[in-house]
Structure 1
């Protein structure tokens, strides 16, 4: 398996030896002047670019994706709360302990959906999809929620892209 690196953005991307497009791509780097695009035949290879030491076996890989999703959710949640406070959309002194725990709790501990059936506040909650139905018996929280889903590699990458952590592309023929 191969991961090919090319400058990004680019007017044209390299093709595979058989002159077809690479099925999967990941943009790396936040600076538009120095970003690169990683092209691969395998989503696994791109996940390995996101998770250093990404394991080969299925169960360990799932655990690694889950742990990365939790760390990412914790970081994003803190950033969203900080931005909401800075922009005067949220005043932490107005919140009760339960709401503070909801916003700032460790995402390794799922939010109790019996207590919080819906969140329509600011900022969005960032939660882990595999902590809720259909993966568990917990009811998913509705409303202003962003989900990270480590259940499989492609879904994991798509949900990281959906929350703005990275850019992930799948060719239409993949």
Structure 2
């Protein structure tokens, strides 16, 4: 059935009085309504559903979720750092070059994952699949926000946990199904 993307008005209202879709994902100025998590991700990452239908569907879809969250991690890290600097919560000059390179790596795919306890006031945004049990690298502790491309549910849940989105389930749609 696909997804329906609704842009909010100037007051933040979505103008949807009684949505008939199973899921809603609220992202800033828009709401995505869909009956499946696949359709939600397709609305965020066009071409995703086609990858699933291909001969190597699960592997290609997993890579697509991963690369999408790489970009989201960079955007989130940059936004959080800028907000903290603008609010006076952190001095950019007080951060070491290593800290800055872990917070906003020049090339997140090539960057070595942080190991240890992250103690910076600025949270480290990391991809869960870069760490154990998916790799041999131990998961960092401390002030870390994880984005998780492992499957469609963890993908969406991690966007919510990071504060990027709000996820809702339409209970009346479930009853009718």
TM-score band w.r.t. shorter chain: 0.7 to 0.9
What value does the CA root-mean-square deviation take over the aligned residues?
2.4
Instruction: Quote the residue 2:18 is aligned against.
Output: 13
How many Å apart are 1:85 and its aligned residue?
1.6
> Residue 112 of structure 1: SS of its match in structure 2?
coil
Aligned pair in 2 of structure 1 residues 87, 44: CA closer, same or farther (>3 Å)?
A: same
Q: Which blocks of at least 5 consecutive residues in structure 1 are unaligned? A: 16-21
TM superposition score normalised by structure 1 = 0.79
Change (3 A) 1:11 1:81: closer
Gaps of 5+ in 2: none
Q: Give TM-score, length-normalised by structure 2.
A: 0.78
Please tell me whether the aligned partners of residues 24 and 169 of structure 1 are also in contact (alpha carbons under 8 angstroms): yes
Alignment of 1:122-137 (within 5 A): 122-137=121-136
How far 1:126 moved relative to its partner?
Answer: 0.5
Q: Distance in 1 between matches of 2:23 and 2:86?
A: 37
Quote the Cα distance in structure 2 between the aligned partners of 1:61 and 1:73: 18
Q: How many residue pairs get matched?
A: 160
- Deviations, residues 33-70 of structure 1 (Å, cap 9, x unaligned): xx4441x2211011000102212211111111100111
Shift, 1:80, TM fit: 1.3
Counterparts of 1:73 and 1:87 in 2: how far apart (Å)? 21
